[in-house]
A and B are shown apart, each in its own frame.
Chain A
Amino acid sequence: MKKSVLTTDWLFLKETIGLMDRKGLGKIGENVKSSSFDLDASARTETGVIVMSMFFVGLLIVAFTTNPVPSGTQAGERAPIFSGEAYDGTSWNSFEFADLLDTSWTWNSTEDSPWIAVEFLDTDCGFCKSSAQEVGQWSEMYTSPQWPGPDVIFIAVAVEFVSESSRAEIVEFRSQYENNFRYVDDLDISIADDWDVAATPTYFLVQPDGIVAWNSGQGSDTLGWDAKEEQSISLNGFDDGRVQLNEAIEQLTRLHEGE
């Protein structure tokens, strides 16, 4: 019974190959014949099984021993590291964003590592000017002893979007609005490119471990990142429904307080 089935199959295949030849598809017919009866094909399949097993075992080992976090500037992603020259009120010094991070930080850490607020601004941008004083006040408020939450370090990244700017303008802007935090020179817009910043002012709140907790330039500025639950959450805009930097700080850094 088995033999007759095989014979029928072979006759059917022969017919198919013959038909292909007659239709001018001789090459394809040959390949069908080759793959059915050429035992080299079994060596290839066997080798294929071996190497694919090797590939997937490799992938599985990597998958089971790591828990990757995507890089980017959306809430829940790992913020790009940057370095440059920063003005601290007296001189321009080298600045490393990575130095501010505490990579071992978790929500349950007993250590009170500071969060980081990053503002991208242009010294010629009207909105940046109108908010500069307020941002300066927040930078003092969120490091003061009266603030019950973790400290928030403010960093301004000065870009050149609107018109030509210079370090002298950055120094003048900082002093005019009495900001006491560091201003990083990004006049070549390299940091802004890495952070996908297309307009100013754009604000980010970054967790101590470098994960973006809030991005004002994201599709919805009400979207924050819950570090404890590791999921997105919706924030409230206290006045007009739009979430401001100070509102994001107050909600996210003290999210699970009292639980």
Chain B
Amino acid sequence: MNEYAVLSIHGIVIVYGLLLMTPVAPQINILKSRYPSTLTKRGQLTAGLAFVCFGGFTVSAHTLWMHNKLSEGASVCSGNSLLNCDGLIGNIAYNTDPLLGQPWGLIGMAAFTALMWLTLTIGKEPLSPQTPLFIRMGLGATIAGLPVIALLVSYEIKEGLICPFCTTAHIANIIALVGFFLLLKLQESDEWAPDIKKTSSRR
């Protein structure tokens, strides 16, 4: 299967998550019958974020797979002189993080797993006293991802290459940042949980 066909699957999940965070969400929401909470603005935001984090996770896992495949000597994504993952993911000078020495794909998987946990927890317990903290943690984590993205983009500029898979993961982080910001704004407003009575947060 062509690598860009696989990339488009990750991309579709992320784009769907992004759309769920926009005003078109009621028209495209396929979850509303199973999860009625996604009919609310809060529900749409958390569902959208969950899709974005899942797409970020899968594309990160794919880059880890590429990292391993390249170490075996295979070529996985080098069809174009500009759009070329092999030259970056396969380059030992850049393909691991400078602090832990772990592949960037693994770092991405761990980061998006943590964001996914925050998102699902916020969705499940919107009135918990910890929810504002979790939203801020998500926002902080995605902001912390920006310097990492800047570092990786600097590698791309240095090598004159663009890694489409890495870029997709970076975009997922930026969309997640926007999502957590919107959640924070919503949580500070009166529209946060009009569907839930305060007492129902304790079962």
Q: Which residues of A contact B (CB under 8 A)?
A: 38-40, 43-44, 46-48, 50-52, 54-55, 58-59, 61-62, 65-72, 78, 80-81, 101, 103-104, 194, 209-210
Contact = CB atoms under 8 A, between A and B. Distances in A.
Given A43-B124, A44-B121, A71-B92, A209 B73 contact: yes
Contacts of A44: 121, 125
B64 A62 contact: yes
B202 A39 contact: yes
Interface of B: 54, 57-58, 61, 64-65, 67-69, 71-75, 90-93, 95, 109-110, 113-114, 116-117, 120-121, 124-125, 128, 130, 201-203
A256 to B, nearest CB: 21
B120 to A, nearest CB: 4
B110 A55 contact: yes
Nearest to A57: B61
A7 to B, nearest CB: 21
Contacts of B202: 38-39
Q: Secondary structure at chain B's binding surface: helix, strand, loop or mixed?
A: helix
B71 A69 contact: yes
A59 B109 contact: yes
Contacts of A61: 61, 65
B104 to A, nearest CB: 13
A67 B67 CA distance: 10
A129 to B, nearest CB: 31
Contacts of A81: 90-91
Shortest Cβ-Cβ A-B pairs, 9 listed: A66-B68, A68-B68, A103-B73, A71-B92, A43-B124, A58-B61, A47-B120, A40-B128, A55-B113
Nearest to B120: A47
Contacts of A80: 92-93
Given A68-B67, A78-B71, A58 B57 contact: yes
Nearest to A193: B93
Contacts of A38: 202
Nearest to B87: A81
A81 B74 CA distance: 13
B61 A40 contact: no
Contact of A48 (B75, B95, B117, B203): B117
Nearest to A209: B73
